[in-house]
Structure 1
């Protein structure tokens, strides 16, 4: 009887230990936090990022606090990045050297410089890190948008002093940074710069390059598209996506996947409608060509991704096995108890 009890306790302990290990591993995988020390010229007290009212020629030092919650000292890389719009229609602060839009006249790097810092923080400690900017003499309209980007380096990366070292961290913190000289928001705008055929992850798509040429943030962006043969009304491809955004003075390629269609060489027409917060609406109609040479370059691949693996039944099977093992253990315990009771009864008789 005692043997089976020990087995049951051991089994339960293993299950609990496995769950605890998973939680601990997730916590240790981050191991640090970052916060902003908001200055007096913060013009929005409700947010925790830097939303600053600035003046021409103003110089200022901004402070952030890195808290290392881990049990070992860690090294972090700190930089200030320009806000751009990525291919998913998301404002992105993670790119250290992005391709900038032609409409951007004064960017984050012009104010903060292009240098990054490496900061080592002892275990269970906090450390302030400073970044400085200087505004240009000429007054600026709208906003300049960026972010202070903090990422933990691996031991090999921290030991390397080589420039251009590849950073392979899986987690980073970004503290938003918005600078403006007036409380008047500049309205965003949209232009359709080009329409071309391209590929993403080897899948064919039509790419409509959308630009926000103004120093104003575009929020709650929704785009609806359809593609027809030139001069015809039948829709060949269509696409709709919402809840996007565009950084000031940025552009991105909005993708219309070919799906299971194989487009032939010819001239096509894109009709695109875009809607943004504030009641903004833009309507574009633009022709584009698909040549046989381009089709060859695209390798005639379709944009039908491989079906995603469904692990639901694996989890069901795993749960069933655990329940079955518990039932077997309970059955054996009861059986063993009955045998002990019978033995006790016989001995008494």
Structure 2
């Protein structure tokens, strides 16, 4: 009994010495600071945890936030602005600069903000950082969505950097033409359809949210059929995605095996949470593990030929009408 008590006492002494000579082990990197958004006068009253405001005019909008350094050392923080985008997993991502291109150009928050890219705060001090948003225009419908992200800069060690706590604050900027009900509008981009075969075939397609609002829990159903005398369903799948406003998302349908040569049809049926449906089809041919052709050049050529024919008919009728008029004038003489 005495031996056990002596052992416990030694353990307590050892742990006490460990914390005494290395107090950092009790502190997780990044948890030693706080960030508070300082909301503007035009803030929507129902929200207080992030920036949610309406654009009054096209003048610069001044916003601010405070950083409090709770640690014993001076800290430097990286500051960035990101656009809200939907990643391949169907989740809205507020911190992926690589997907910026997926947002409609005039709706990119990151292009409208002027902000310092890093801030240094003394130990046990608080600093207020101001930044500006210059909207391209004020009379837009819906909202522009993105985020402000603050990350502490830590010196690299042999063990590497771990447990960095990032602070992300959403920014939602409403236009003056924002309606109470924004109509859903999902499109596709047929030129981006592709089929890639390595061991298995993966079908790639692109959906576009043309509406300036988040589409929550869109149901996406895909049905792949092999065309021929007897149509056969090869694959049927269903998933839900959250769609960022005014942006596109690249979707992939990974099949369990490669597609053999033949003609196929992929149907993509989407349905919003409000019950609005949007349907898209891709008819394609596989040959030697490759997409044989998209036929888009053929569609373009056919459209051009049709326009030329219509224009030719118009010119022919116009000439015919002029001849009749001249003939009538001669008879009148």
TM-score, scaled relative to structure 1: 0.68
Residue 169 (structure 1) shift:
8.3
What do the CA deviations read for 1:113-162 (whole angstroms, capped 9, x no partner)?
A: 5x6521112233322222101223462122111111212222269xxxxx
Q: 1:62-107: per-residue Cα shift (whole Å, max 9, x none)?
A: 1112233333322111122222221111222213353424744342
Displacement after TM superposition at 1:189 (Å) = 1.4
Which among 280, 285, 293 is matched to residue 281 of structure 2? Answer: 285
Contact 1:94 1:149 in 2 (8 A): yes
Partners of 1:273 and 1:284 within 8 A in 2: yes
Residue 174 of structure 1 is aligned with which of 168, 171, 177?
168
Question: Is 1:262 paired with 2:263?
Answer: no
Hey, what does 2:182 align to over in structure 1? 186
Contact residue 103 and residue 214 of structure 1 kept, 8 A: no
- Relative to structure 1, the CA distance from residue 272 to residue 15 in structure 2 (aligned partners, 3 Å threshold; closer, same or farther) is farther
Q: Distance in 1 between matches of 2:34 and 2:218?
A: 31
Instruction: Report the CA distance shift for 1:267/1:146 in structure 2 as closer, same or farther (over 3 A).
Output: same
Deviation at 1:13, TM superposition (A): 8.8
Question: Which range is displaced more, 117-126 or 247-256?
Answer: 117-126
Change (3 A) 1:248 1:57: same
* Residue of structure 2 in register with 1:211 after alignment: 208
Cα separation, partners in 2 of 1:206 and 1:33, compared to 1, 3 Å: farther
Q: List, as ranges, runs of 4+ consecutive aligned residues in structure 1 with deviation greater than 6 Å.
A: 11-18
Q: Deviations over 1:225-256 (max 9, x none)?
A: 121213454322222212x2111111112222
**How far apart are the structure 2 equivalents of 1:101 and 1:268?**
28
2:245 match: secondary structure: coil
Cα distance in 1, alignment partners of residues 219 and 210 from structure 2: 18
In structure 2, how many angstroms separate the alpha carbons of the residues matched to 1:239 and 1:74?
49
Q: Which residue of 2 aligns with 1:120?
A: 120
Distance 1:262 1:39, change over 3 A: same
How far the C-alpha of 1:16 sits from its partner, in A, is 12
2-side partners of 1:179 and 1:205: how far apart? Answer: 37
Cα distance, 1:63–1:103 mapped onto 2, change above 3 Å: closer
1:204 CA drift (Å): 5.3
State whether residues 188 and 217 of structure 1, in contact with CA within 8 Å, keep that contact through their aligned partners in structure 2: no
Contact 2:75 2:121 in 1 (8 A): yes
Two-structure CA RMSD over aligned residues (Å): 3.6
Return closer, same or farther for 1:293/1:255 CA change in 2, 3 Å cut-off.
closer
- Residue number in structure 1 paired with 2:238: 240
Q: Is structure 2 residue 268 aligned with structure 1 residue 272? A: yes
Match of 1:4 in 2: 4
Q: Tell me which residue corresponds to 2:53.
A: 52
Partner of 1:146: 146
Counterpart contact for 1:190–1:212, Cα < 8 Å: yes
After TM superposition, give the deviation of residue 30 of structure 1 in Å: 3.5
Partner residue in 2 for 1:95: 96
Cα–Cα, structure 1 residues 252 and 144, in superposed 2: closer, same or farther, change >3 Å? Answer: same
Give the Cα–Cα distance (whole angstroms) in 1 for the partners of residues 137 and 80 of structure 2: 24
Partner of 1:335: none
CA contact (8 A) 2:77 2:120 kept: yes
Provide the secondary structure at the position in 1 that maps to 2:112: helix
Post-superposition shift, 1:3? 2.0
Alignment of 1:314-329 (within 5 A): none
Q: CA deviation at 1:10?
A: 5.2
